[in-house]
């Protein structure tokens, strides 16, 4: 079965296409050709992804007459650091990467985020391509141009908006993804249903299990539908002046838990988002915005998928509500000293709640930690 869909992200002179399909790695040279100013690329990957896909991707480029250099970084969230960014930039300079060369991010959200950020600052801005290799990166981080590293004070606090020139989402690549990583990425798929598309959430309730067991047709449909949803939001609000913040559903809670677990294997980003989305719906119920039935459906679906829905499911987790609040105050949506959360009126109807009461929120967190 050969699948190929093109989703256009219309951003004026920063517009680009996202291709979702099978066997895209083998044809990567053909996809990149229209964007090349000279016949060379530099691939940035991590050790896990590099071991599996660097050779086939390099081979595909070579067979199109494209010269390849590669830089391999350690895997994991810790790679989104100043130290790794400095080494990466120095390595790119050593390779004499020019402004118009193409830098290729081959990996999950970690590689996409650090590579995109390096591309945004190297020689005041180089062009880059995303070849996302996790479900999370295919449906979310590779599209929309958010790039970042983490700071001591919080996640993704140092970064830039820098759009790729092309995204190749090859769903064949997802077959090697560990099941836990696939599930974590699935949380970001569910997010699109919860924030703005109730019929997609219903589709996922029915088809999610097949998708997670590797059905390529269902996987491709879910990736396409997610990318389309993200593309429309990014087109309307590239720099997050308003509605793009909806894509943060579950993230303010989630980031606090990720920070408290040290951005470690204890809690993957997508798992934190799943837990955060359950809490966002529960908090919406507490405020009387949302009916308990909708919150229960969200919890049931994510739980059935094997994603965490309560802080008590995180191993050895003993942070207090006040500790979580210190992370929440570092959220990028904090504005004029007020907390902003993405809450929901129902499944498919998320909204931006400004001026969330911190005292009430801390009480809610304290209760959630005991549930
Ligand atoms: P990741 O990049 O750490 O990848 C997860 C693990 O899977 C890594 O160990 C990696 O080596 C391995 N891996 C990747 N692809 C594989 C494959 N095909 N086969 C086998 N192993 C593979 O994690 P992620 O979940 O992709 O990304 C998380 C990051 O994305 C976080 O830092 C998060 O902040 C960021 N993010 C960014 C945005 C954005 O808009 N820029 C959106 C969402 C998330
Ligand atoms: N992942 C959130 C965003 O791209 O805005």
How does residue 102 score in pLDDT terms, banded at 50, 70 and 90?
very high
pLDDT given at position 97: 97
Say if residues 46 and 112 touch (Cβ distance below 8 Å).
no
DSSP labels for 41-54?
Answer: EEEEEEHHHIIIII
DSSP labels for 94-159?
Answer: HTT--TTSEEEEEESHHHHHHHHHHHHHGGG--EEEEEE-SHHIIIIITSS-EEEEEETTEEEEEE
In the three-class reduction of DSSP (H, G, I as helix; E, B as strand; rest coil), residue 71 is classed as strand
Say if residues 263 and 155 touch (Cβ distance below 8 Å).
yes
Q: Is the pLDDT of residue 25 over 80?
A: yes
Q: What is the pLDDT of residues 309-327, one digit of tens each?
A: 999 999 989 899 999 999 9
pLDDT given at position 123: 97
Q: What is the pLDDT of residues 114-161, one digit of tens each?
A: 999 999 999 999 999 999 999 999 999 999 999 999 998 888 999 999
Instruction: Return the active site residues.
Output: 124, 146, 188, 230, 240, 244, 248, 251, 255, 269
pLDDT given at position 155: 85
The DSSP code for 354 is: E
Q: Which of 84, 137, 161, 246 to mutate to test the pocket of ligand 1 (most atoms within 8 A of CB)?
A: 137
How does residue 54 score in pLDDT terms, banded at 50, 70 and 90?
very high
**Residues whose CB is less than 8 angstroms from the CB of residue 203 and which lie 6 or more positions away in sequence, other chains included:** 193
Q: Nearest to residue 363, comparing CAs of 337, 334, 324?
A: 324
285 CA distance to ligand 1 centroid (A)? 31
The DSSP code for 164 is: -
Q: How far apart are CA 193 and CA 202, in angstroms?
A: 8
State CA 196 to chain mean position distance: 17
Q: Residue 347: is it exposed, middle or buried by C-beta count within 10 angstroms (0-12/13-18/19+)? A: buried
**Residues whose CB is less than 8 angstroms from the CB of residue 4 and which lie 6 or more positions away in sequence, other chains included:** 19, 20, 21, 22, 24
In the three-class reduction of DSSP (H, G, I as helix; E, B as strand; rest coil), residue 247 is classed as helix
Which tokens sit at 212? 């997670």
249 CA distance to ligand 2 centroid (A)? 10
The residue-averaged pLDDT of 73-89 equals 96
Please state the atom number of ligand 1 nearest to the C-alpha of residue 76. Answer: 3
Which tokens sit at 19? 């291709």
Other Cβ atoms within 10 Å of 213 Cβ, number: 11
Ligand 1, residues at Cβ distance < 6 Å: 46, 48-49, 52, 75-77, 80, 107-111, 113, 133-134, 136-137, 140-141, 144, 146, 155-156, 173, 176-177, 181, 184, 269-270
Q: Is the pLDDT of residue 1 over 70?
A: no
Residue length, the chain? 371
Q: How far apart are CA 258 and CA 254, in angstroms?
A: 6
The residue-averaged pLDDT of 166-175 equals 97
Q: Is the pLDDT of residue 2 over 80?
A: no
In the three-class reduction of DSSP (H, G, I as helix; E, B as strand; rest coil), residue 270 is classed as helix
pLDDT given at position 152: 86
Ligand 2, residues at Cβ distance < 6 Å: 140, 144, 146, 244, 247-248
pLDDT given at position 82: 97
For residue 44, how many C-alpha atoms fall within 13 Å in the half-sphere facing its CB?
32
Q: Which ligand is nearest to the CA of 249?
A: 2
Question: Which residue, judged by its Cα, is nearest atom 2 of ligand 2?
Answer: 247
pLDDT given at position 318: 87
State CA 291 to chain mean position distance: 28
Q: How far apart are CA 316 and CA 158, in angstroms?
A: 29
Q: Nearest to residue 109, comparing CAs of 55, 54, 147?
A: 147
């Amino acid at each position: 079965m050969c699948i190929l869909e093109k989703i256009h992200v219309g951003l004026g002179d920063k517009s680009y296409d996202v291709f979702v399909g099978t066997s895209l790695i083998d044809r990567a040279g053909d996809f990149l050709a229209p964007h090349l100013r000279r016949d060379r690329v530099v691939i940035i990957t991590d050790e896990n992804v590099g071991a599996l896909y660097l050779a086939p991707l390099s081979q595909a480029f070579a067979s199109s007459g494209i010269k390849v250099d590669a830089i391999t970084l350690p895997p994991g969230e810790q790679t989104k650091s100043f130290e790794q960014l400095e080494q990466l930039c120095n390595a790119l300079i050593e390779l004499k990467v020019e402004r118009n060369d193409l830098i290729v991010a081959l990996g999950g959200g970690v590689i996409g985020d650090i590579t995109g950020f390096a591309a945004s600052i190297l020689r005041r801005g180089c062009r880059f391509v995303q070849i996302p290799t996790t479900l999370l990166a295919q449906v979310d981080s590779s599209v929309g141009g958010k790039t970042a590293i983490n700071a001591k004070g919080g996640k993704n606090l140092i970064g830039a908006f820098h759009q790729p020139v092309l995204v190749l989402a090859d769903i064949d690549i997802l077959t090697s993804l560990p099941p836990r990583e696939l599930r974590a990425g699935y949380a970001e798929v569910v997010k699109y249903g919860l924030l703005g598309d109730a019929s997609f959430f219903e589709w996922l309730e029915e088809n999610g299990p097949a998708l997670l067991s590797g059905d390529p047709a269902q996987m491709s449909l879910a990736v396409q539908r997610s990318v389309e949803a993200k593309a429309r939001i990014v087109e309307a609000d590239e720099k997050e002046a308003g509605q793009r913040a909806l894509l943060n559903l579950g993230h303010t809670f989630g980031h606090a838990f990720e920070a408290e677990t040290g951005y470690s294997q204890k809690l993957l980003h997508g798992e934190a988002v799943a837990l955060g989305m359950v809490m966002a719906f529960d908090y919406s119920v507490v405020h009387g915005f949302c009916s308990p039935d909708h919150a229960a459906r969200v919890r049931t679906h994510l739980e059935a998928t094997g994603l965490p829905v309560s802080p008590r499911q995180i191993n050895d987790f003993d942070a207090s509500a006040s500790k979580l609040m210190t992370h929440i105050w570092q959220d990028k949506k904090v504005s004029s000293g007020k907390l902003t959360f993405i809450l929901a009126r129902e499944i498919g109807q998320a909204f931006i709640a400004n001026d969330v009461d911190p005292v009430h929120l801390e009480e809610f967190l304290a209760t959630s930690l005991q549930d």
